């Protein structure tokens, strides 16, 4: 199977390379060639790239996909009210089948808006892995673990089973991580145990960090440290590859402690905005050489899983925070949503740029729209003007998952029927 994208504007995201007009040939699951002109072959599935921009698929570095079932259910509440009064009671009612359908809804939204890979942390991960396998998207899956009460080791065993059972499955589209939930839900000893496992198994770690002021105060009162210092004390930054979600409330000392870490930060600007958590010090972290990617968080808080909206919000927040419009320019935020996030998922050797030999995770953006004309600067247009609904075609691992806005691996009507019936039961009376 081969695909030939002809005469598209191509943004490879390679260092020093500007957008240009050309062709892309995909053979199997990899990019075979990119050139100004490639002669078509009889077996090629030809896609007309005129008035379209080809770029690497977006990588969502932090998600809770089944929370799409709770989109719009608990808005305009303070974080702890949102969590304790709405989210936790509703999530407690979710069955494995609910989680399967919720993740399919999220995957449909991500494919439609140009996301080709995502990092997920939740429960009942087998069902999410099945949804990933069926739909063709790429994912790094994590069983979130809370250790505040004794569950007989069930959560930890489920995390081990996920890693052993799903790593490398779906033609390599599924990778896994170990997921201690956060500093405030993981006492030191079990946290150290998980870190040791991650290093021994060569599996990355995925954990929330300093999302709220309340978390910082809680860790300060409990351990006389910042959350970052707490993770450092546990040994998290010594050898493991680590994905830190949020990192909103870091001081300069915290940022210095993260300079040499393997991995980096998943910035979730829309969720942080909606929940009033604060503005993450993205520019300060990047100035110290820390890798920063972009995630959406779950739709229960962010509402949208559109990574183009996240890019806008990320830029606006840094410009506003510094009162400086030169902060976090377009090229940098595009790097965050592609190469930066790919580094966090530890898949940067396969995705994040368009180049021969890389996995064929490619999206086409339709530029023939009133809000995207005229075209002066393609990168600025992508960062500040494009919406997820402008994505025309989504290709993952060489398979076309959406073409001309039509999903090819999912039945949307079936998904809508299932999730609407299930959510009525889940939220009733809450």
- Residue 250, judged by CB atoms within 10 A of its CB (0-12, 13-18, 19+), counts as buried
Q: What is the pLDDT of residues 300-343, one digit of tens each?
A: 999 999 999 999 999 999 999 999 999 999 999 999 999 999 99
Strands lying side by side in the sheet with 174-180: 58-63, 115-122, 138-145, 174-180, 205-209, 241-246, 262-267, 291-294
pLDDT in tens, 176-218: 999 999 999 999 999 999 999 999 999 999 999 999 999 999 9
Judged against a pLDDT cut of 90, whether residue 150 lies above it is answered with no
| Domain boundaries 2-56+359-407, CATH class | mainly beta
Distances (CA, A) of 354 to 7, 332, 418: 15, 17, 36
pLDDT digits (tens, 9 = 90+) for 369-389: 999 999 999 999 999 999 999
pLDDT in tens, 71-121: 999 899 887 788 889 998 999 999 999 999 999 999 999 999 999 999 999
- For residue 151, what pLDDT band results from cuts at 50, 70 and 90? confident
Backbone φ and ψ of 184, nearest 5°: -80, -10
Instruction: Determine the Cα–Cα distance for residues 57 and 399; give it in Å rounded to an integer.
Output: 13
- Whether pLDDT at 12 is above 90: yes
Q: What's CA 204's distance to the chain center, in Å?
A: 15
Which of the four pLDDT bands, split at 50, 70 and 90, describes residue 229? very high
Indicate where the chain has its CATH 2.30.40.10 domain(s): 2-56+359-407
Whether 273 shows a pLDDT value over 90: the answer reads yes
* Mutual angle of helices 188-201 and 227-234, in 10-degree steps: 60
DSSP state of 175: E
Burial track 321-339 (b if 16+ CB lie within 10 A, e otherwise): beeeeebbebebbbbbbbb
Quick one: how far is CA 329 from the chain centroid?
20
The DSSP secondary structure of 38-84, one letter per residue, reads ----TTEEEEE-TTEEEEEPEEEEEE-GGGGGGTTSS-S--HHHIII
| pLDDT tens profile 240-262 | 999 999 999 999 999 999 998 99
Helix (H) or strand (E) holding 334: helix 330-335
* Mean of per-residue pLDDT scores for the chain: 97
Residues of the chain with CATH 3.20.20.140: 58-344
Place of tokens 């199997």: 28
Q: What is the dihedral of CA 197, 265, 388, 414, to 10 degrees?
A: 30
Query: Do residues 350 and 303 make contact, with C-beta atoms less than 8 angstroms apart?
Result: no
Query: Does 153 score more than 90 pLDDT?
Result: no
pLDDT in tens, 357-372: 999 999 999 999 999 9
Architecture, CATH, for domain 58-344: Alpha-Beta Barrel (3.20)
Residue 63 has pLDDT above 90, yes or no: yes
Q: Is there a contact between 137 and 106 (Cβ–Cβ < 8 Å)?
A: no
Q: Which tops the pLDDT comparison, 150 or 27? A: 27
């Amino acid at each position: 199977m081969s695909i030939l994208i002809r005469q598209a504007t191509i943004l490879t995201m390679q260092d020093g390379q500007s957008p240009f007009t050309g062709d892309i040939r995909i053979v199997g699951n990899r990019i075979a060639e990119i050139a100004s002109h490639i002669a078509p072959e009889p077996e090629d599935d030809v896609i007309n790239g005129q008035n379209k921009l080809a770029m690497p698929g977006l990588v969502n570095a932090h998600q809770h996909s089944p929370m799409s079932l709770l989109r719009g259910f608990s808005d305009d509440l303070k974080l702890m009210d949102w969590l304790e009064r709405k989210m936790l009671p509703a999530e407690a009612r979710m069955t494995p089948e609910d989680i399967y359908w919720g993740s399919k809804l999220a995957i449909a939204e991500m494919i439609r808006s140009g996301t080709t890979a995502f990092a997920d942390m939740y429960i009942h991960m087998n069902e999410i892995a099945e949804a990933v396998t069926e739909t063709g998207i790429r994912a790094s899956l994590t069983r979130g673990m809370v250790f505040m009460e004794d569950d007989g080791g069930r959560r930890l065993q489920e995390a081990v089973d996920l890693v052993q059972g799903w790593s490398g499955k779906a033609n390599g589209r599924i990778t896994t991580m170990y997921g201690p939930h956060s500093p405030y839900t993981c006492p030191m000893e079990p946290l150290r145990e998980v870190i040791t496992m991650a290093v021994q198994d060569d599996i990355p770690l995925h954990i929330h960090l300093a999302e709220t002021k309340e978390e910082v105060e809680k860790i300060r009162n409990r351990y006389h440290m910042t959350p970052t210092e707490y993770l450092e004390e546990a040994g998290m930054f010594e050898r493991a590859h680590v994905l830190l979600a949020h990192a909103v409330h870091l001081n300069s000392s915290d940022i210095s402690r993260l300079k040499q870490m393997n991995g980096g930060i998943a910035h979730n600007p829309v969720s942080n905005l909606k929940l009033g958590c604060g503005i993450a010090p993205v520019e300060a972290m990047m100035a110290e050489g820390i890798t920063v990617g972009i995630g959406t968080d779950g739709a229960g808080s962010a509402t949208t899983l559109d990574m183009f909206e996240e890019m806008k919000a990320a830029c606006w927040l840094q410009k506003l925070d510094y009162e400086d419009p030169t902060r976090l320019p377009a090229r940098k935020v595009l790097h965050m949503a592609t190469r930066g996030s790919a580094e966090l998922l530890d898949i940067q050797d396969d995705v994040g740029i368009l180049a021969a030999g890389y996995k064929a995770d490619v999206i086409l953006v339709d530029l023939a729209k009133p809000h995207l004309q005229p075209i002066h600067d393609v990168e600025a247009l992508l960062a500040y003007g494009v919406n997820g609904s402008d994505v025309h075609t989504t290709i993952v691992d060489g398979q076309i998952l959406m073409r001309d806005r039509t999903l090819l691996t999912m039945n949307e009507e079936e998904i809508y029927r299932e999730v609407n019936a299930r959510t009525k039961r889940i939220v009733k009376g809450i």
